Amino acid sequence: MIYLNGKFMPIEEACIPVLDRGFIFGDGVYEVIPVYSRKPFRLAEHLDRLQHSLDGIRLKNPFGNDEWSHLLEQIITKNDGEDQYIYLHITRGVAKRDHAFPQVPPTIFIMSNPLLPPPAELLRSGASAITAIDNRWIRCDVKAISLLPNVLLRQMAVDVQAIETILIRDGFLTEGAASNIFVFKNKMLLAPPKSHLMLPGITYDVILELATANQIAHEVREISEAEIRTANEILLTSSTKEIMPITKLDGETVGTGKPGDMFTQLHTLYQQYKATHMRGNASH
Ligand code: PDD
């Protein structure tokens, strides 16, 4: 069951007009929110980021946080699975094709699908990634539905059986095509600083909080391409993949070629944090 513009319905019945600005211009924003034990994870943070994205495209938030929360609760109840991921999408609505903003109601779409953890085998062996020049626009902090560059960049990885494309802009790491990237080098966990050049990941924040809370030495600073290529470990994070080890980059072995201790420690901490959330004791 999905939600579209005020109604719940089976996805097969959901239709939008061809003049929707999401279809015509990619004019909209979205969120992906993980749900564990039927409870949205870090909901307040996802709703804050949604507000930031809406502000970034000058679209009014159609709901307050309580209304969003209530809607998401309903979507979760109407769908199968204790663990789900919600996809929430708002466009500037339906209007005669014209670049200028129309005065029409937005299109609001929400769906939820079962959330499966990354395959255990991939966590044991590690995954491959490739690198590419980050050729996206310079408002990557906005979670915009116009994802053509991300789609093309991710496909480059898929074409060579890798799981992600790690993006480099002007010689420095930004993020993955649909994930954030951390580097572990010389006993230091490194994260690129948030800016207009990357999406402020919710999982990225959780990892940095866990690092602080557990006295893991870390620095948030620019990471050069050379540092990525000589890393002891590379870690990928996202709401749907949680945390994953990258053990091959552009066909070269990363560190020992096996998931390292930093991955194992952070993965364990992340699972513990999730468990706290499920029991309802997490601070978020
Ligand atoms: N993508 N950077 C980009 C470009 C992303 O698309 C994503 C997530 C992230 C990680 O953010 P978070 O930890 O909040 O999921 C970083 C989602 C999962 C997607 O588009 O499906």
Question: Which CATH number goes with the domain that contains 127?
Answer: 3.20.10.10
Q: Is residue 154 part of a domain?
A: yes
Domain boundary among 98, 114, 130: 114
Token pair listed for 168: 């480099």
267 and 216, same structural domain? Answer: yes
Q: How far is the CA of 77 from the centre of ligand 1 (A)?
A: 24
* Residue at 15 is within a domain: yes
In the reported structure, the alpha carbon of residue 258 is separated from the centroid of ligand 1 by a whole-number distance in angstroms of 24
Please check whether residues 219 and 127 belong to one and the same domain.
yes
Choose one of 153, 166, 239 to mutate for the ligand 1 pocket test, by most ligand atoms within 8 angstroms of C-beta: 239
Phi-psi region of 168 (alpha: psi -120 to 50; beta: other; left: phi over 0): beta
Alpha carbon of 77 to those of 39, 46, 230: distances in Å?
Answer: 10, 19, 46
Read off the pTM: 0.97
Per-residue pLDDT tens digits for 42-86: 999 999 999 999 999 999 999 999 999 999 999 999 999 999 999
- 175 ligand 1 Cβ < 6 A: yes
Where is the domain boundary, 67, 93, 114?
A: 114
Q: Does the annotation mark 187 as catalytic?
A: no
Whether 150 and 274 share a structural domain:
yes
Domain for residue 283, yes or no? Answer: no
Q: Does a structural domain hold residue 135?
A: yes
CB 174 near ligand 1, within 6 Å: no
Residue 283: predicted pLDDT: 46
DSSP label at residue 224: B
Do 98 and 231 fall within a single domain? no
- Backbone phi and psi for residue 125, each to the nearest 5 degrees, phi listed first: -95, -25
Domain stop point among 68, 88, 114 = 114
Cβ atoms of residues 208 and 235 within 8 Å: no
Cβ of 243 less than 6 Å from ligand 1:
no
Q: Which residues of the chain have a pLDDT value below 50?
A: 283-284
Indicate whether residue 32 lines ligand 1 (CB < 6 A): yes
- Ligand 1 centre to CA of 69 (Å) is 20
* Residues 164, 60 within the same domain: no
Same domain, 96 and 131: no
Phi, psi for 168 (deg, rounded to 5): -125, 125
Q: Is residue 164 part of a domain?
A: yes
Pocket test for ligand 1, best of 29, 31, 32 (most atoms within 8 A of CB): 32
- The set of residues, in sequence order, having a beta carbon less than 8 Å from that of 20 and lying 6+ positions away, is 91, 93, 94, 107
Asked if 163 and 78 sit in the same domain, the reply is no
Inside any domain, residue 60: yes
- For residue 282, the model assigns a pLDDT of 53
Is residue 284 in some structural domain? no
Residues 255 and 270 occupy one common structural domain: yes
DSSP state of 188: E
Residue with tokens 């053509």: 148
Q: Say whether both 135 and 251 belong to one domain.
A: yes
CATH number of domain containing 11 = 3.30.470.10
Q: Please check whether residue 137 lies inside any domain of the structure.
A: yes
Same domain, 15 and 107: yes
Total domain count, the chain:
2
- Tell me: do 159 and 272 sit in the same domain: yes
Residue 152 shares a structural domain with residue 250:
yes
What is the model's pLDDT at position 280? 78
Domain coverage including residue 59: 2-114
Task: Output DSSP code: residue 35.
Answer: E
